[in-house]
A and B are shown apart, each in its own frame.
Chain A
Amino acid sequence: MREFQCDLAIIGSGPAGLACAKSAAEHGVKKIVILERNPQSGGILNQCIHNGFGLSVYKEELTGPEYAYRALQLIQRNFPFHKDPDMVEDGISLFTETMVTYISKVVTDIAKDHQIQALSPKGVLIIHAQKVFLAMGCRERTRFNILTPGTRPAGIFTAGAIQKIINQEGLMPAKEAVIIGSGDIGLIMARRLTLEGAKVKLVSEILPYSSGLTRNIVQCLQDYNIPLRYNTALVDIIGKKRVEAVVVAPVDENRRPDLSRAKTITCDTVVFSVGLTPETDLTKTLGLVIDPATNGYQVDETLQTSLPGFYSGGNVVHVHDLADLVTMESERAGAGLAIPRVPRSAPVYLTHNENLRYIVPQLLRYQSFGPLVLSMRSTRVLPKATLTIISEGQVILKQKREHVTPGEMLVVTLPEVLAQKIGNDLTVNLDEETL
């Protein structure tokens, strides 16, 4: 059994974990340990071989594996870096094939020593950490999460699983596919399956709009003549051994399918791209507060969760649509956990109107310190909208936004001069602008 001490333990080495490690090291955190369950760092980026990554962070267009490599390189070049070391020294130590199985918090007031247990081919690993950054990412919602009826033959995949099988294993599991849901991975996989010689017969979306990025609808569907049907539900899966067909039907405004207009589409593969959900299960016993709107951890402006010493960033806080945004958020966390701040007398819980689904951070715990970044999603499509940030009745910021959709995260940065104006409450409203 190996047992090590460190200042910061990071769980997961996807874009969130790597960005936090870099930023924390830049801000003076000495001993950093990253625990990664896969044989290499990068997380899900490794299976995302399409381009479109890095436009904000690296100012060039990269693939997922390239983006992951850059993030690791930045760490390796700038700080002492140790891969699978025999002991933990100053710098950043990356432990691969290391699966965290349990995290406990310390009960005494004297030591802030959080204990992390992990399994690896070298045995049990126990890490004692002053601070913990949770970067486990998210998982896909599945066929039964959305209560899809039908049989259970071979040929039913989530978009991420089929992406991994094709891109990382080099295996082809489909001839004729129907994609359920128009999330980004589903759109990307529609194109990928087409390029590999499969016929994508339909992308079926139950909502009147796509939850994916506009650029993906253009580049992945329209460029390949793949039909996308909105307001359409999957109502049955047919097939005993392998999928033989799916049945889809148009839905009314309450999302109830009209079975009299149902249509059977023959196919051997159904790909579910019906949303992602933060993978917070590891900390269940710690009782961290989960925001029901994001299903991720509730965090403050330093990305600290409800449990002191536990920070988080990336898709385990809220599902992002771009890896670049994950990197930027987690860099803020690295700074947030390293720099001491002056607490407010009472935390400010952010509120919003019905056109917004959530805002991260959910609360402000500290007095103003640099610019404040707010990430949020709308509940519906708004062709023209006004975003208003109000504190104690005073409008702090008013911005016009065009083509606001739930599929694209809204990010607002309040410069420090404006962030200082925040009093004892903070409300963000998104209002439709009528022409």
Chain B
Amino acid sequence: MKSSQDVVIVGAGIIGSSIARQLSQYQLNITLLDQASDVSCGTTKANSAIIHAGYDAKPQTLQAKYNVQGSLLWPLLAKELAFPYRQLGSLVLSFDEKQDEILKELLNRGQQNGVSGLEIWNQKKILREEPALSSRVHSALYAPSAAIVCPYQAAIALTENAIHNGVTWLPSYPVKKISQDKDGFVINDEIHTRYLINASGVNSDKVAALIGDTSFTISPRRGEYLILDKQQLVNHVLFQTPTPLGKGVLLAPTVDGNVLLGPTAIDCKDPTDTQVTQNGIDLILSQAKTILKDPVPPVISGFAGIRALAGDDFIVGPSQVHPHFFNCAGIGSPGLASSPAIALAIRDYLQEAGLKLIEKPDFDPCRHQRLPIHSLSNRNKDLLIQENPNYGKIVCRCETISEQEIIDAITAELPALTLDGLKRRLRVGMGRCQGGFCTPRLLRLLEQYGHLKPAQINKNEPGSNLIYNETKGARHA
């Protein structure tokens, strides 16, 4: 048997990493594991990146409760863990009188859910605050507490801080078998744990089924997105008025200054079906066109994510099959916003189930992160480069990322050993050239500092290698 743990968390998305970080303040042996080689490789890496205010969820649901609670916890998290968070506020746009009525319903619902500061704006006010919008806009519901974050950077920050506070991170570890004994569970006949938390996203029904919990089934729903180049196009998160068919396409700035359009909502059988379809592209662009006054600016990238739905609400709490097995499942929207509150709820459930929570005297809630070089003053840039000249070698020209920042990410405690891992931490290759210029250099840095042969360097998972071997000339050199 490999080890004996108090708590094992299966799945290192935003939910698993939030729980790991929440529990890392107590004197517990905790392992956070994931089938992928890095954190944040599932739903967390591909969603709308929005901390919803909480007017949308039906009152009395877990979604409403955790959303409103969670959205208030994000500002402190962002401060402690040094990841970007911007409270821009959101607008739900109405384009006719029928939609105006729906906005009033949303306003009421938001007030019932305890969302503060909601206002209805008239056209004049909307166009003053959002000059890029079509003058067809009628009215809007303004929610000041809505915010944007970068969900994968948040999950990385949470995990890094959890590791810093003693949590064990176990990547590339798929859970194939869970057996039970008198005081807990044994995972894959290797890891014993007293408590087990299932935060495995699209696979959470399969993981629950390993202990015989078949109380829910995950229905994957694909959301496709497009990304525009950096620009000041809109100032708030802009939603369309929800219809019975869905919430429609949103338009939002990202924390990095790009503009995000999407998502579509397509039920799919395969939970790994992250294709972007022609229909999806057409739908997103045609809806964006109706919101904006001018033509939609050029697209630089696109992606799709899978929302792991299980009925109409979140499933958070002990399994009916075993009181020490906790499910966090069916976490669709507003899962990101809710994640800090879900982590608190799981902590309380664990305590109720008999886990003793003794605070660590040396718990450090802060992540000590160097600021990106491009954000420093000239004086501080100079000081850093004098210390280490590699901070002055710019590898990613679109995002101004230096060679040393890449080396730091490759050699970190939670290392980036794939091209996508580097992207998620530093944005290398995420700019307008989409890695055309920097990919060759990134391959060499991963080779040198990640101790990988070129053919072992993957885009993300094993089998996604870019290189097969050396060229004829290089082999004979």
User: Hey, which bits of chain A sit against chain B, CB under 8 A?
Assistant: 1, 37, 97, 99, 101, 117, 119-124, 126, 139-140, 142-145, 147, 149-155, 157-158, 160-161, 164-166, 168-175, 196-197, 235-236, 240-242, 281
Q: Which of A121, A123, A139, A154 contacts B464 (CB 8 A)?
A: A154
**CB atoms of A145 and B300 under 8 A apart:** yes
**CB atoms of A149 and B278 under 8 A apart:** yes
Q: In the complex, which residues of chain A have a beta carbon less than 8 angstroms from the beta carbon of B432?
A: 139, 281
Q: In the complex, which residues of chain B have a beta carbon less than 8 angstroms from the beta carbon of A171?
A: 440, 443, 454, 467, 469-471, 474
Task: Please give me the residue from chain B that is nearest to A168 by CB atom.
Answer: B440
Knowing A149-B281, A172-B470, say if A99 contacts B459 (CB, 8 Å): no
List B residues 461-477 near A (Cβ within 8 Å).
Answer: 461-474, 477
What class of interface size applies to chain B in its complex with A?
A: 35 or more
Task: Please give me the residue from chain A that is nearest to B301 by CB atom.
Answer: A144
Rounded to whole angstroms, the CA-CA distance of A119 and B373 in the bound complex is 10
Q: In the complex, which residues of chain A have a beta carbon less than 8 angstroms from the beta carbon of B390?
A: 121
Q: In the complex, which residues of chain B have a beta carbon less than 8 angstroms from the beta carbon of A164?
A: 440
Task: Please give me the residue from chain A that is nearest to B227 by CB atom.
Answer: A144
**CB atoms of A123 and B382 under 8 A apart:** yes
**CB atoms of A154 and B466 under 8 A apart:** yes
A253 → chain B closest CB, angstroms: 19
Q: In the complex, which residues of chain B have a beta carbon less than 8 angstroms from the beta carbon of A172?
A: 467-471
Rounded to whole angstroms, the CA-CA distance of A172 and B436 in the bound complex is 16
Rounded to whole angstroms, the CA-CA distance of A197 and B385 in the bound complex is 43
Rounded to whole angstroms, the CA-CA distance of A415 and B392 in the bound complex is 48
Rounded to whole angstroms, the CA-CA distance of A144 and B302 in the bound complex is 6
**CB atoms of A99 and B394 under 8 A apart:** yes
**CB atoms of A242 and B389 under 8 A apart:** no
**CB atoms of B277 and A149 under 8 A apart:** yes
B339 → chain A closest CB, angstroms: 25
A-B pairs with the 5 shortest C-beta distances?
A170-B474, A121-B389, A241-B463, A99-B394, A154-B459
Q: Which of A161, A166, A169, A242 contacts B463 (CB 8 A)?
A: A242
**CB atoms of A169 and B444 under 8 A apart:** yes
Q: Which of B227, B473, B477 has the most CB of A within 10 A?
A: B473
Does B276 have its Cβ within 8 Å of any Cβ on chain A? yes
Does B58 have its Cβ within 8 Å of any Cβ on chain A? no
Q: Which of B278, B434, B443 contacts A143 (CB 8 A)?
A: B434
Interface string of B241-273 (1 = CB under 8 A from A): 000000000000000000000000000000010
Q: Which of B275, B303, B381, B443 has the most CB of A within 10 A?
A: B275
Rounded to whole angstroms, the CA-CA distance of A169 and B470 in the bound complex is 9
**CB atoms of B436 and A139 under 8 A apart:** yes
B226 → chain A closest CB, angstroms: 7
Rounded to whole angstroms, the CA-CA distance of A247 and B450 in the bound complex is 36
**CB atoms of A149 and B394 under 8 A apart:** no
28 sample A-B contacts, Cβ–Cβ < 8 Å, listed by A number: A37-B394, A99-B394, A119-B400, A120-B385, A122-B389, A122-B392, A123-B382, A139-B432, A140-B433, A140-B436, A142-B434, A144-B226, A144-B300, A145-B298, A147-B302, A149-B276, A150-B275, A151-B274, A153-B464, A154-B459, A158-B434, A165-B467, A170-B474, A171-B443, A171-B471, A172-B468, A174-B468, A175-B468
**CB atoms of B379 and A1 under 8 A apart:** yes
Does B378 have its Cβ within 8 Å of any Cβ on chain A? yes
Q: In the complex, which residues of chain A have a beta carbon less than 8 angstroms from the beta carbon of B460?
A: 154, 241
Q: Which of A1, A151, A281 contacts B275 (CB 8 A)?
A: A151
B454 → chain A closest CB, angstroms: 5
Task: Please give me the residue from chain B that is nearest to A117 by CB atom.
Answer: B378
Does B280 have its Cβ within 8 Å of any Cβ on chain A? yes
A83 → chain B closest CB, angstroms: 17
Knowing A119-B385, A240-B272, A242-B464, say if A149 contacts B458 (CB, 8 Å): no
Q: In the complex, which residues of chain B have a beta carbon less than 8 angstroms from the beta carbon of A236?
A: 275, 278
Does B347 have its Cβ within 8 Å of any Cβ on chain A? no
**CB atoms of A161 and B443 under 8 A apart:** no
Q: In the complex, which residues of chain B have a beta carbon less than 8 angstroms from the beta carbon of A145?
A: 298-300
Task: Please give me the residue from chain A that is nearest to B438 by CB atom.
Answer: A161
**CB atoms of B436 and A242 under 8 A apart:** no
Rounded to whole angstroms, the CA-CA distance of A234 and B373 in the bound complex is 39
Rounded to whole angstroms, the CA-CA distance of A145 and B301 in the bound complex is 7
**CB atoms of B459 and A170 under 8 A apart:** no
**CB atoms of A235 and B378 under 8 A apart:** no
Does B449 have its Cβ within 8 Å of any Cβ on chain A? no
Rounded to whole angstroms, the CA-CA distance of A121 and B390 in the bound complex is 6
Rounded to whole angstroms, the CA-CA distance of A144 and B470 in the bound complex is 29
Q: Which of A119, A143, A165, A241 contacts B381 (CB 8 A)?
A: A119
Q: In the complex, which residues of chain A have a beta carbon less than 8 angstroms from the beta carbon of B393?
A: 97, 120-121
**CB atoms of B378 and A165 under 8 A apart:** no
Does B397 have its Cβ within 8 Å of any Cβ on chain A? yes
Does B173 have its Cβ within 8 Å of any Cβ on chain A? no
Does B374 have its Cβ within 8 Å of any Cβ on chain A? yes
Does B179 have its Cβ within 8 Å of any Cβ on chain A? no
